[in-house]
Amino acid sequence: MINLYKQRKYFRSLDRIAKIKSYYTTILIYTILLFVIAGLNYYVNQWKNPWFLWFAIGLILNILIRSIKTFEWFPFNMKKENKNKAIINFEENNKL
């Protein structure tokens, strides 16, 4: 029983590590792409019309949403909160 629990925990951690690695890879790609687009904008009109900023705002919003999903920053995640309360109540009720 304990071994099964450890295996499940191990595979969950591997999944989480893969998500975090994907997140940072995406940020790296977005950063490189933003510099390329900014360079193209400078080459075309030398900052007279900085249209690459719209692209940057879109990337920032995308990164923000990915951060919320990857690091589980859900402000109204009631399932997790209820699960934590249930575990605490179970531990309090089973004290010797």
pLDDT digits (tens, 9 = 90+) for 45-93: 998 999 999 999 999 999 999 999 888 877 666 566 666 666 666 766 7
- Confidence at residue 94, expressed as pLDDT on a 0 to 100 scale: 72
In this prediction the pTM is 0.71
What letters, b where the CB count within 10 A reaches 16 and e where it falls short, cover 13-31? eeeeeeeeeebeeeeeebe
- Confidence at residue 76, expressed as pLDDT on a 0 to 100 scale: 66
Distance from C-alpha of 52 to C-alpha of 91, rounded to nearest angstrom: 55
Find out whether 16 and 70 touch, Cβ atoms under 8 Å. Answer: no
Find out whether 30 and 63 touch, Cβ atoms under 8 Å. Answer: yes
